[in-house]
Amino acid sequence: MSNPKLSDFNFDLDAIRRYEIALKNGTTIKTDGSAEEHARAIAMLDKIDQIGMIEPEHRPLISDTMPPPPLPPTLTPTATAAPLNSAPLPEAIDQWLEQSGAKNETRTVDGKAYHIKDFLRRRFGHVKSVAHWLAAHQNTPNMQKKALLEVEAATYKQQTVMANAVDKEAIVGYKSELLKEGQKAKTIDNKLMTIHNFLKYAIAHGAYTATNENPVSGLFILTKEERKKKTEPYEPFTDEALKTFFDAEKYSKAMTAPDLFWAPLLGIFTGMRISEATQIRTDDVRKTANGLHYIFVPKSKTTAGIRNVPICATLQRLGFLDYVNECRSAGAERIFPHCLLINNSYSKDVSAAMLEHQRILNIKAPHTSFHSFRVNVITAMANNGANTPQVMKIVGHKRSDSDEVHLGYVRDLPDLQPIVDTLKWPIDIPSLAYNGRFGAFVANQDNWAKSKKRKAEAAKDKAASEAS
């Protein structure tokens, strides 16, 4: 018989639809042979597989006493249906973050983790395996310990969830929740992009099997062109704002810690990003054989940002090298040893102090921040005659993906030094020059971040012990 149809066979559909499936936990799914019962049973099995409420060892097995109905001898199966089992959701996320860490900067991976935590907390926080994952991924050991104890003390109706549960319905619900809170379209799209990235990985690696189409597709609010239009560029500081910001008396009174004092000066005289300026190690401040001082940037936002930045004459007159020598004498590894690493950055205090200083002086403009110093520097160097490749080498910038190369070699420093030396700002350098005010502070290791962290953790452990 060529090209047979189902109607060509005398099937007893009631007999085929009459079956019994036993679960290892003792539950039995049994049908009476009707189409309705069969449809309900299939829907139940599909839902069990999707939500993963039953542990793998409790997944359904066909009862030994009910062999499957035989296929007609003229019909031979030509393919095996793809399995619908997916990976446990927390496990799939860990694997995705691990791969992300192999190709992305730590800052990018932290951003992805932050977004996926928000999604998990909102949509699957009622599942024990997810609650445990969130607790284990708290920022500090003490927070982890506390959160894990809370998870173990709580009662959860659902123990685990599979990756397939991240379906269109869950993502739409998450998006709707963010919209109701009034979050901006670009912020919501950034969070959706993280989920899209996770599901792209999960589909490619067989951890997500519900569909081959990414459930996030079609849910973004803005198009790529609209996202570009929404991006608000940083504005440079005006000369008047710089003069007010760096007024010697007011600046020294407001910027009372080494990072608060030096980071903005590094920004306006080097064009460094805030994360680059606050991470400098004492070994990163170097000198060439012919006497040129420079800062090595080993870690940056892009590979183009890994570079050597010449230290201009004005920054040297301000006493920056003297301060670095004080840090070396104290045995400090970093030039701001008191700064805690928070969200993979040492810049939190600088950002807050800058914002407060601008507000007090009434010079805060809508699009000015530490990054504005970078805009000032790039603009000034271009106006002073530097060509684009030279500017890119100094600030670690790229114009396009084709420019993603390592720039700013030591051999380039003699050509770059005169360019940074042309940077002139309305700042009273003699009045602002460093006078050794932070020497004793840096020399006292009790002020260092690692000492403060140890003391804080010891205090928390003591408090927790007394409470229990």
Q: Are residues 102 and 168 in the same domain?
A: yes
Q: How far is CA 333 from the centre of its chain?
A: 26
Residue in 330, 316, 286, 311 with CA at minimum distance from that of residue 433: 316
Instruction: Assess if residue 74 is contained within a domain.
Output: no
Instruction: Assess if residue 117 is contained within a domain.
Output: yes
Please state at what angle helix 258-270 crosses helix 370-383, rounded to 10 degrees: 30
Q: Are residues 171 and 268 in the same domain?
A: no
Percent of the chain with pLDDT over 70: 82
Q: Are residues 384 and 251 in the same domain?
A: yes
Q: Are residues 113 and 179 in the same domain?
A: yes
Query: Please, what is the average pLDDT of the chain?
Result: 85
Instruction: Assess if residue 223 is contained within a domain.
Output: no
Residue with the bigger pLDDT between 1 and 313: it is 313
pTM equals 0.64
Mean pLDDT of 320-346: 94
pLDDT at 136 over 90: yes
Instruction: Assess if residue 69 is contained within a domain.
Output: no
pLDDT in tens, 409-427: 678 899 999 999 999 999 9
Q: Are residues 438 and 304 in the same domain?
A: yes
Instruction: Assess if residue 462 is contained within a domain.
Output: no
Residue in 336, 346, 424 with CA at minimum distance from that of residue 380: 424
Q: Are 49 and 164 in contact (CB under 8 A)?
A: yes
Total tally of structural domains belonging to the chain: 3
Q: Are residues 28 and 111 in the same domain?
A: no
Could you tell me the residue range of the domain that residue 421 belongs to? 239-455
Q: Tell me, what's the pLDDT at 74?
A: 42
Q: Are residues 207 and 244 in the same domain?
A: no
pLDDT at 37 over 80: no
Q: Please calculate the CA angle 170-172-175 and round it to the nearest 5 degrees.
A: 110
pLDDT in tens, 184-206: 999 999 999 999 999 999 999 99
Q: Please calculate the CA angle 150-154-155 and round it to the nearest 5 degrees.
A: 160
- Neighbouring-strand partners of residue 295: 285, 309
pLDDT at 7 over 60: no
In angstroms, the CA 126 to CA 159 distance is: 9
Residue with the bigger pLDDT between 231 and 151: it is 151
Mean pLDDT of 2-19: 59
Instruction: Assess if residue 7 is contained within a domain.
Output: no
pLDDT at 84 over 60: no
Mean pLDDT of 389-413: 71
* Range of lowest pLDDT (4-18, 266-280, 310-324): 4-18
pLDDT at 400 over 80: no
pLDDT at 356 over 80: yes
Instruction: Assess if residue 308 is contained within a domain.
Output: yes
pLDDT in tens, 208-257: 999 999 999 999 999 888 887 777 788 999 999 999 999 999 999 999 99
Tell me, letter by letter, the H, E, C secondary structure of the chain: CCCCCHHHCCCCHHHHCCCEEECCCCCEEECCCCHHHHHHHHHHHHHHHHHCCCCHHHCCEECCCCCCCCCCCCCCCCCCCCCCCCCEHHHHHHHHHHHHHHHCCHHHHHHHHHHHHHHHHHHHCCEHHHHHHHHHCCCCHHHHHHHHHHHHHCCCCECCCEHHHCCHHHHHHHHHHHHHCCCCHHHHHHHHHHHHHHHHHHHHCCCCCCCCCCCCCCCCCCCHHHHHHHCCCCCCCCHHHHHHHCCHHHHHHHCCCHHHHHHHHHHHHHCCCHHHHHCCEHHHEEECCCCCEEEEECCCCCHHHCEEEECCHHHHHCCHHHHHHHHHHCCCCECCCCCCCECCECCHHHHHHHHHHHHHHCCCCCCCCHHHHHHHHHHHHHHCCCCHHHHHHHHCCCCCHHHCCCCCCHHHHHHHHHHHHCCCCCCCHHHHCCCCCCHHHHHCHHHCHHHHHHHHHHHHHHHHHHHC
CATH number of residue 389's parent domain = 1.10.443.10
Using pLDDT thresholds of 50, 70 and 90, give the confidence band for residue 405. Answer: very low
First to last CA, the chain: 79
In angstroms, the CA 45 to CA 48 distance is: 5
Cross-sheet strand order for the sheet of 307-310: 285-287, 293-297, 307-310
Q: Are residues 114 and 204 in the same domain?
A: yes
Using pLDDT thresholds of 50, 70 and 90, give the confidence band for residue 385. Answer: very high
Residue with the bigger pLDDT between 428 and 228: it is 428
* Range of lowest pLDDT (101-105, 128-132, 196-200, 441-445): 101-105
Q: Tell me, what's the pLDDT at 106?
A: 78
Q: Are residues 378 and 292 in the same domain?
A: yes
Sign of CA dihedral 248, 251, 252, 257: negative
Highest-pLDDT range among 79-93, 284-298, 336-350: 284-298
Instruction: Assess if residue 226 is contained within a domain.
Output: no
Which residue shows structure tokens 């190709």? 103
Q: Are residues 309 and 252 in the same domain?
A: yes
Q: Are residues 180 and 268 in the same domain?
A: no
Q: How far is CA 425 from the centre of its chain?
A: 35
Q: Are residues 312 and 352 in the same domain?
A: yes
